[in-house]
Structure 1
């Protein structure tokens, strides 16, 4: 025994402070993934957050639905047999509202976790990077689908109450749902990719807005120039370079929708396949980029 040990004998003790092993069910990755999805979806509408956080998403939701209610009211008052705005056209007409919602909520979903370095806390649980990306992507797509499908439901219910043709309205409603489902997948992926590139929420908001509005403005302008120059084929080709014109071209080619392209002529069914392939590539590419992004987020 050393002199120091003799002078200062070991007095350490082990205390039982009452901790017990967890004996409940182990819910695993699936439960964690579903919980993260539900929490992210609720957060996209401000649920479970402060009252101030609810204002913008709920306001934008109302802005999406109120015009649909007015369209129905006008149709009923004039005893019209057709809605003034087709189901497949509604999301294109209200694209600015959709873009603003995405710009506000995509950074809230992912940028905040990156900024405050809470992502490693998720990965310390029984959850993998794949689970995190799937939950966030699924929640953003679901939130966008709710935003874009709700006014279509208003239009459809109103059309049936106005005793418009059931078969025709049901077919249009179904086409509209397919269109907004594809839009939600495309916009949700692109919005999350742009937002995940920076931990700064403000930068993410500006970047998402720029991605959607600048591309649409540039493509629309060049399309108009090409149409005036009698380059009709270029108009269709240019539509591949903007998210909203991609959706416009796809539903024109396959869903019988009218086109907002100059001249009102969208892509044919043959060229519509190219639109579909580009959309699928962007959706899958967005998922791949998100997976790569979160592989770099170390523990």
Structure 2
């Protein structure tokens, strides 16, 4: 006969650990998109991140503004009648700095999300993949615009301080800002596409630098060869194969800028339409590639 007693089951206890239903305002998809945009824009300058993350973008920002400040100081001291640098030329002259900034910040914007597989966390909120792409694209383009437009503002304010012709300086400043806006959207899209192709930040940095620097150097070299060979008619067509030369050709054709192509052989309005179409195709294509890249990420 079994004399062992059956033990009674332990009593069930319910612990109140403080979970409550959320009773606040549901801010929705638009708020999520705006928040991602603002955080990405702040992150492009290291704001809200570690002190080490602020060093490079702030140094590059200073390097972009410093030449403009020196030009203004000299113009005011010598009472010059015009600035020695056109507003539309500044971005082309500082293109290596812009490329370095883009190479450092585009991978930071998207590579970490790919490497740490955080897309599923973003999509657990009421935002779509298109919202993520738009926020990141807009933030990168805005960060570039701030970087390049700041020295133009310094030049413009300095020209007014030096009492240069107001209408001429305002016209040149407006043309320069239009060029900067197009450049920012174009470069931002290309940089994000290259950075999003790999979760490894180092590869993204190398890809952006190689694409922007090597393409511009190769196009400039081929253009010089064409000029030396008395084939100046093809110089403008070679400009279609580099992002920086595309901007150069666009502002030469439509914004009254002086071309930096060899011999000043920039495109006219007819060829300028081709430049505009290529730039538009690259911008739309960059967005489409980013959407395709993130279509299955995080699933």
Question: In structure 1, what is the equivalent of residue 245 of structure 2?
Answer: 245
The question of 1:143 aligning with 2:143 is answered yes
Write out per-residue CA displacement over residues 58-93 of structure 1, whole angstroms, 9 at most, x where no aligned residue.
Answer: 000000001001111111122111100000000000
Question: In structure 2, what is the equivalent of residue 3 of structure 1?
Answer: none
Question: In the TM superposition, what is the alpha-carbon distance from 1:18 to its structure 2 partner?
Answer: 3.0
| Mapping of residues 155-174 of structure 1, within 5 Å | 155-174=155-174
Question: In structure 2, what is the equivalent of residue 202 of structure 1?
Answer: 202
| Mapping of residues 90-101 of structure 1, within 5 Å | 90-101=90-101
The question of 1:117 aligning with 2:117 is answered yes
Whole-angstrom distance in 2 between the partners of 1:120 and 1:85: 48
Whole-angstrom distance in 1 between the partners of 2:160 and 2:16: 69
SS in 1 for 2:294: helix
| TM-score, normalised relative to structure 2 | 0.96
Whole-angstrom distance in 2 between the partners of 1:32 and 1:278: 33
Whole-angstrom distance in 2 between the partners of 1:239 and 1:71: 29
Question: In structure 2, what is the equivalent of residue 50 of structure 1?
Answer: 50
CA RMSD of aligned residues (A): 1.2
Whole-angstrom distance in 1 between the partners of 2:8 and 2:139: 60
Whole-angstrom distance in 2 between the partners of 1:279 and 1:188: 12
| Mapping of residues 20-99 of structure 1, within 5 Å | 20-99=20-99
Question: In structure 2, what is the equivalent of residue 285 of structure 1?
Answer: 285
Whole-angstrom distance in 2 between the partners of 1:231 and 1:160: 42
> Segments of 4+ in structure 1 off by > 2 A?
6-18
User: Unpaired runs of 5+ in structure 1?
Assistant: 1-5
Aligned residues: 294
SS in 2 for 1:107: helix
Question: In the TM superposition, what is the alpha-carbon distance from 1:125 to its structure 2 partner?
Answer: 1.1
Write out per-residue CA displacement over residues 71-122 of structure 1, whole angstroms, 9 at most, x where no aligned residue.
Answer: 1111112211110000000000000100000000000000011111112111
The answer on whether the counterparts of 2:117 and 2:298 sit within 8 Å (CA) in structure 1 is: no
Whole-angstrom distance in 1 between the partners of 2:107 and 2:8: 58
SS in 2 for 1:26: coil
Question: In structure 2, what is the equivalent of residue 274 of structure 1?
Answer: 274
Whole-angstrom distance in 2 between the partners of 1:43 and 1:119: 17
The question of 1:19 aligning with 2:12 is answered no
Question: In the TM superposition, what is the alpha-carbon distance from 1:205 to its structure 2 partner?
Answer: 0.4
The question of 1:107 aligning with 2:104 is answered no
| Mapping of residues 223-234 of structure 1, within 5 Å | 223-234=223-234
Write out per-residue CA displacement over residues 8-30 of structure 1, whole angstroms, 9 at most, x where no aligned residue.
Answer: 75854544433211000000010
Question: In the TM superposition, what is the alpha-carbon distance from 1:227 to its structure 2 partner?
Answer: 1.3
Question: In structure 2, what is the equivalent of residue 261 of structure 1?
Answer: 261
Write out per-residue CA displacement over residues 229-269 of structure 1, whole angstroms, 9 at most, x where no aligned residue.
Answer: 12122111110000000000000000000111011120001
Whole-angstrom distance in 2 between the partners of 1:8 and 1:172: 89
Whole-angstrom distance in 1 between the partners of 2:16 and 2:162: 73
Whole-angstrom distance in 2 between the partners of 1:190 and 1:169: 31
Question: In the TM superposition, what is the alpha-carbon distance from 1:129 to its structure 2 partner?
Answer: 0.3
Question: In the TM superposition, what is the alpha-carbon distance from 1:298 to its structure 2 partner?
Answer: 2.9
The answer on whether the counterparts of 2:194 and 2:208 sit within 8 Å (CA) in structure 1 is: yes
Whole-angstrom distance in 2 between the partners of 1:218 and 1:147: 25
The answer on whether the counterparts of 2:133 and 2:291 sit within 8 Å (CA) in structure 1 is: yes
Question: In structure 2, what is the equivalent of residue 126 of structure 1?
Answer: 126
